[in-house]
Structure 1
Protein backbone atom coordinates (compact mmCIF):
# COMPACT_ATOMS: atom_id res chain seq x y z
CA UNK A 1 0.00 0.00 0.00
CA UNK A 2 1.32 3.43 -0.98
CA UNK A 3 1.54 5.43 2.26
CA UNK A 4 1.90 8.71 0.33
CA UNK A 5 -1.80 8.59 -0.67
CA UNK A 6 -4.21 9.67 2.05
CA UNK A 7 -7.97 9.95 1.69
CA UNK A 8 -9.93 12.80 3.17
CA UNK A 9 -13.36 12.32 4.67
CA UNK A 10 -14.94 14.99 2.47
CA UNK A 11 -17.15 12.89 0.21
CA UNK A 12 -20.33 14.43 -1.15
CA UNK A 13 -23.03 13.58 -3.64
CA UNK A 14 -22.64 15.61 -6.82
CA UNK A 15 -26.07 15.62 -8.47
CA UNK A 16 -24.72 17.17 -11.68
CA UNK A 17 -22.16 14.39 -12.17
CA UNK A 18 -24.46 11.74 -10.63
CA UNK A 19 -21.52 10.57 -8.54
CA UNK A 20 -20.00 10.50 -5.10
CA UNK A 21 -16.94 12.77 -5.21
CA UNK A 22 -14.09 12.62 -2.70
CA UNK A 23 -10.51 13.82 -2.29
CA UNK A 24 -7.14 12.21 -1.87
CA UNK A 25 -3.73 13.66 -1.05
CA UNK A 26 -0.83 12.23 -3.01
CA UNK A 27 2.47 13.54 -1.65
CA UNK A 28 0.69 16.71 -0.58
CA UNK A 29 -1.14 17.23 -3.88
CA UNK A 30 -4.96 17.27 -3.60
CA UNK A 31 -6.70 15.05 -6.15
CA UNK A 32 -10.37 14.59 -7.00
CA UNK A 33 -11.84 11.10 -7.24
CA UNK A 34 -15.37 10.08 -8.19
CA UNK A 35 -17.52 7.00 -8.46
CA UNK A 36 -20.82 7.16 -10.29
CA UNK A 37 -24.03 6.24 -8.52
CA UNK A 38 -24.55 3.52 -11.14
CA UNK A 39 -21.11 1.99 -10.43
CA UNK A 40 -21.75 2.12 -6.68
CA UNK A 41 -25.05 0.25 -7.08
CA UNK A 42 -23.68 -2.24 -9.60
CA UNK A 43 -20.81 -3.16 -7.32
CA UNK A 44 -22.22 -2.74 -3.80
CA UNK A 45 -26.01 -3.12 -4.23
CA UNK A 46 -28.93 -0.78 -3.89
CA UNK A 47 -28.98 1.96 -1.32
CA UNK A 48 -28.32 5.60 -0.63
CA UNK A 49 -25.07 6.52 -2.43
CA UNK A 50 -23.28 8.15 0.51
CA UNK A 51 -24.22 5.24 2.79
CA UNK A 52 -22.93 2.73 0.22
CA UNK A 53 -19.74 4.75 -0.06
CA UNK A 54 -19.26 4.85 3.70
CA UNK A 55 -19.98 1.13 4.12
CA UNK A 56 -17.48 0.24 1.39
CA UNK A 57 -14.92 3.01 1.91
CA UNK A 58 -11.96 0.61 2.27
CA UNK A 59 -12.62 -1.09 -1.09
CA UNK A 60 -13.32 2.22 -2.84
CA UNK A 61 -10.13 3.77 -1.49
CA UNK A 62 -8.15 0.75 -2.74
CA UNK A 63 -9.65 1.24 -6.22
CA UNK A 64 -8.83 4.95 -6.08
CA UNK A 65 -5.27 4.23 -4.98
CA UNK A 66 -4.78 1.97 -8.02
CA UNK A 67 -6.26 4.59 -10.37
CA UNK A 68 -4.00 7.29 -8.90
CA UNK A 69 -0.90 5.10 -9.04
CA UNK A 70 -1.65 4.24 -12.68
CA UNK A 71 -2.39 7.93 -13.44
CA UNK A 72 -5.86 7.15 -14.83
CA UNK A 73 -7.26 10.65 -14.52
CA UNK A 74 -9.51 12.24 -17.13
CA UNK A 75 -8.87 15.47 -19.04
CA UNK A 76 -10.14 17.45 -16.00
CA UNK A 77 -7.82 15.67 -13.56
CA UNK A 78 -10.58 13.57 -11.96
CA UNK A 79 -10.00 9.91 -11.18
CA UNK A 80 -13.25 8.10 -12.09
CA UNK A 81 -13.54 4.68 -10.52
CA UNK A 82 -15.12 1.82 -12.37
CA UNK A 83 -15.26 -1.84 -11.62
Structure 2
Protein backbone atom coordinates (compact mmCIF):
# COMPACT_ATOMS: atom_id res chain seq x y z
CA UNK A 1 0.00 0.00 0.00
CA UNK A 2 1.59 3.27 -1.08
CA UNK A 3 0.07 6.51 0.12
CA UNK A 4 0.86 9.89 -1.35
CA UNK A 5 0.07 12.76 0.97
CA UNK A 6 -1.22 15.66 -1.08
CA UNK A 7 -2.05 18.71 0.95
CA UNK A 8 -4.19 21.70 0.07
CA UNK A 9 -1.43 24.10 1.13
CA UNK A 10 -0.04 24.69 -2.36
CA UNK A 11 0.40 28.40 -1.58
CA UNK A 12 3.01 27.68 1.11
CA UNK A 13 6.37 27.65 -0.66
CA UNK A 14 8.54 26.24 2.15
CA UNK A 15 6.25 23.29 2.84
CA UNK A 16 7.92 19.92 2.41
CA UNK A 17 6.70 17.73 -0.44
CA UNK A 18 7.55 14.52 -2.21
CA UNK A 19 7.08 12.22 0.78
CA UNK A 20 5.12 8.98 0.58
CA UNK A 21 4.92 5.98 2.84
CA UNK A 22 4.26 2.26 2.48
CA UNK A 23 2.88 -0.09 5.08
CA UNK A 24 4.78 -3.36 4.95
CA UNK A 25 3.23 -6.77 5.68
CA UNK A 26 5.11 -7.04 8.98
CA UNK A 27 3.69 -3.71 10.24
CA UNK A 28 6.72 -1.54 9.49
CA UNK A 29 6.23 1.82 7.78
CA UNK A 30 8.70 2.69 5.03
CA UNK A 31 8.96 6.42 4.25
CA UNK A 32 10.07 7.49 0.78
CA UNK A 33 11.19 10.88 -0.49
CA UNK A 34 10.75 11.27 -4.26
CA UNK A 35 10.68 7.47 -4.54
CA UNK A 36 13.88 6.85 -2.59
CA UNK A 37 13.95 5.26 0.89
CA UNK A 38 14.16 7.90 3.61
CA UNK A 39 13.46 5.89 6.74
CA UNK A 40 11.71 2.94 8.34
CA UNK A 41 9.52 3.02 11.43
CA UNK A 42 8.96 -0.16 13.44
CA UNK A 43 6.79 -1.29 16.34
CA UNK A 44 5.17 1.34 18.55
CA UNK A 45 6.72 4.17 16.54
CA UNK A 46 5.08 2.88 13.36
CA UNK A 47 1.71 2.55 15.13
CA UNK A 48 1.99 6.09 16.50
CA UNK A 49 2.91 7.38 13.04
CA UNK A 50 -0.21 5.83 11.49
CA UNK A 51 -2.38 7.60 14.08
CA UNK A 52 -0.53 10.93 13.77
CA UNK A 53 -0.58 10.94 9.97
CA UNK A 54 -4.39 11.13 10.11
CA UNK A 55 -4.33 14.14 12.48
CA UNK A 56 -1.39 16.18 11.17
CA UNK A 57 0.02 17.31 7.83
CA UNK A 58 1.59 14.09 6.51
CA UNK A 59 4.32 15.90 4.56
CA UNK A 60 5.57 17.85 7.57
CA UNK A 61 5.34 14.82 9.83
CA UNK A 62 7.45 12.68 7.50
CA UNK A 63 9.94 15.53 6.99
CA UNK A 64 10.39 15.82 10.76
CA UNK A 65 10.78 12.09 11.25
CA UNK A 66 13.38 11.74 8.49
CA UNK A 67 15.34 14.82 9.53
CA UNK A 68 14.66 16.54 6.21
CA UNK A 69 13.00 19.55 7.75
CA UNK A 70 13.80 23.22 7.31
CA UNK A 71 13.54 25.41 10.35
CA UNK A 72 13.16 28.73 8.56
CA UNK A 73 16.47 30.24 9.64
CA UNK A 74 18.63 29.30 6.66
CA UNK A 75 18.68 32.79 5.15
CA UNK A 76 19.40 34.40 8.52
CA UNK A 77 22.24 31.96 9.22
CA UNK A 78 23.76 32.55 5.79
CA UNK A 79 24.02 36.27 6.49
CA UNK A 80 25.52 35.85 9.97
CA UNK A 81 29.06 37.35 10.24
CA UNK A 82 30.52 33.95 11.14
CA UNK A 83 29.22 32.42 7.88
CA UNK A 84 29.72 35.26 5.39
CA UNK A 85 33.03 33.98 3.96
CA UNK A 86 31.72 30.49 3.22
TM-score w.r.t. the length of structure 2 is 0.38
Rg comparison, structure with higher value = 2
